Structure 1
């Protein structure tokens, strides 16, 4: 179980490793004067989403329809209205009917021996309980050191793996002993086509789905991607050749990035890559099923999220007014308008405080301002933060639903381990009472 918890926390920790150049940032994104007013959403109409991670919950759900029914009914009784189900976990294999990807048969120590349709069963039982069911795929990952995956068993796809850039030089992530999760290169056209084909397959095979969600729809870190493919695409983007690559992008002083001549344009280019992938994804989904929603998760810490090549803001939010790393054109690649729903990880341990991204309240408020209220901001809570703190769990749930535009609770494993079901229920009930 400790290994599972480490896996769940790895994304959160990885984002904390690259905050060393904060002196270069103007940390005032929350000083945007206001988020445009829009009609208030009653709490009763706000989504209340439970995230079900494949790896953490596999021992409960892999082979037991009875457990799936049990936990869906617990979710319903606790006040949740939707589920996000992880169907393409970090190994890159899948838990849905597919002719394109291999089935995930073993995650950690848990082997799946059942042959019934994992996603199909969740959809059926969720709908029977009156809950929506959204399928999440880890878009830009192709394996892990623990579980293997396609990048490990398909050497012909070695150039799909992202190229990392450290002070010691360039290295494939497959040879990087510091990288547990093996990321794709998002710039690679074959990678993008593969993910788009998976999305199309999901939308076609499961017309009864309520939504498709991108998790890990990003670059691995500021360390990636520095492959020849990405270099050529970037040179095409800026219209010139780079003589001293990658140093003209950036140099490393330990873990500290030292910007080169083309650093800002590089960040802009990476944001465009992800924006364009999201644009293509939306088109694929809507062409197959116009009623199928497209959503994503990101962390709420906008001031450093550029390191992952992601601009989840509104195109009306000009980051260059607040941050020295952004160009005036960076705003053109904000993807908020491409989404039907957006979940932001307000994962700070502190609940209240409006002047920081690292409180639940401040994280949600920042996301609302950055997205310019273009889409509802569904605040995400990290269950481990409320270990043996039932009052804080209740309060955080209430806060998310009254400050934000919905609730996403990550992850079901913490509700099971720490018996937080009733704490969430109390928070939802308190928030619902504000409608009266």
Structure 2
């Protein structure tokens, strides 16, 4: 009798554990996913042809990819589907290929991908609307949107983003309500047009960098946030002594306000898109370098993580604008050649961002360390997929395999950017090896 009772109790316990484990899987449907990005412009010619789409979807499936991200809104602000809001991209660069508008590329990706058992996500570059190298895109072509261009505060003074030809992305100002409404309308149209789309992954939901945006409109909105006028703008934020930036008395408040702008848009977008398709996977891409990511006005951490206890740039309120809890899927750029933390100990030089921020190399300047850092600050609130920029490993296929294996070890799976490099290097076997379980 005691044996029977013990057996029943054991069975109940085993069943309970199994149910909990299964429930966990259902709560996080994208655990153990391997994501491959298909960039819009780098692959424009290739994916104007159905047979190419068929071939590369099959190749992706064969090597262990589970999820494909189709970039449908590159940095020009044009789109690769029949939008009634945004201009449609029909050609790119010097290529003579013209997009055949008689068939829908994204619809075809979804249809053929689903036949293979792949999840298909669409990616859109949000707060950017022009390519500075080609003077092309929405903020170049549409006079009604010229004032959307972000204004940078540089050592030489105020300068429009489109004058900065060393930068390819013509970023737009997310502080402008009309910018946010326009970008949200495109996202809503996209999700409405493709009810079978598995997910949307946002990109460039951010400011250009620490130098932006210093337009008069941003000044007024910051004053409204503070509840008082700024007596010395922009010096109360920061000033320059030569090319050296000096923080002003409102610097931390400025960083907090910028993070609130991005936080609020993320939550607004989630609510709007889930309202159209409740099953849609709502995702985001950012870099993985959290200690420097205030540079672009983004706090991708959990609200339960308080960066002010660790970093002197964060105010006590900065934690309120973490948005990890809003995401169903989070991909990060763990874009380092060094894979293991031990590899960084061999180096001592500083890393510098475009805006001038500098930091000594630390463990998080590795694939391993950065993945651990992102998981630490997001605190399990969203499944994280550590990502690689394949071009960094050109000529070093073994390092790429090692990095891919590290992504899978230290996060829920992996993200690979971009398929064009896999094709150019012929690294399909390397992908397969890196994704082995």
TM-score (norm 2): 0.86
Superposed CA offset, 1:50-99 (max 9, x none): 011111111211x2111011111110001000011110001110011210
Q: Quick check: 1:360 aligned with 2:382?
A: no
From 219, 237, 241, give the equivalent of 1:249: 237
Superposed CA offset, 1:204-248 (max 9, x none): 000000111111110001110011111111001011101211111
Contact conserved, 1:43 with 1:402, CA < 8 A, in 2? no
Matches within 5 A, 1:305-384: 305-353=293-341, 356-384=363-391
- CA distance in 1 between partners of 2:147 and 2:153 (Å): 15
Q: CA deviation at 1:389?
A: 2.0
Cα 1:240–1:401 shift into 2, 3 Å: same
Which has the greater radius of gyration? Answer: 2
- CA distance in 2 between partners of 1:342 and 1:180 (Å): 25
1:167 is matched with 155
2:12 is matched with none
Residues 104-113 or 338-347, more deviating: 104-113
- CA distance in 1 between partners of 2:73 and 2:135 (Å): 13
Question: How large is the Cα RMSD of the aligned pairs?
Answer: 1.9
Residues 339-348 or 394-403, more deviating: 394-403
Q: CA deviation at 1:45?
A: 4.5
From 20, 41, 44, give the equivalent of 1:55: 41
3-state DSSP class of the match of 1:72? Answer: helix
1:141 is matched with 128
Contact conserved, 1:106 with 1:147, CA < 8 A, in 2? no
3-state DSSP class of the match of 1:87? Answer: strand
TM-score (norm 1): 0.87
Superposed CA offset, 1:160-196 (max 9, x none): 1111111111122233333322111010000000011
- CA distance in 2 between partners of 1:376 and 1:196 (Å): 24
Superposed CA offset, 1:113-154 (max 9, x none): 311212111111111111011000000111112260111111
Contact conserved, 2:30 with 2:329, CA < 8 A, in 1? no
- CA distance in 2 between partners of 1:51 and 1:131 (Å): 13
Superposed CA offset, 1:240-287 (max 9, x none): 101211111111345542111111000000000000000100011111
Q: Quick check: 1:415 aligned with 2:422?
A: yes
- CA distance in 1 between partners of 2:163 and 2:401 (Å): 44
2:402 is matched with 395
Contact conserved, 1:300 with 1:363, CA < 8 A, in 2? yes
- CA distance in 1 between partners of 2:198 and 2:150 (Å): 32
From 121, 128, 131, give the equivalent of 2:118: 131
Q: CA deviation at 1:400?
A: 1.1
Structure 2 gap ranges (5+)? 1-19, 343-361
Residues 41-50 or 73-82, more deviating: 41-50
- CA distance in 1 between partners of 2:412 and 2:232 (Å): 47
1:291 is matched with 279
Superposed CA offset, 1:396-416 (max 9, x none): 221111221111001101110
Q: Quick check: 1:262 aligned with 2:250?
A: yes
Count of paired positions: 392
Q: CA deviation at 1:44?
A: 10
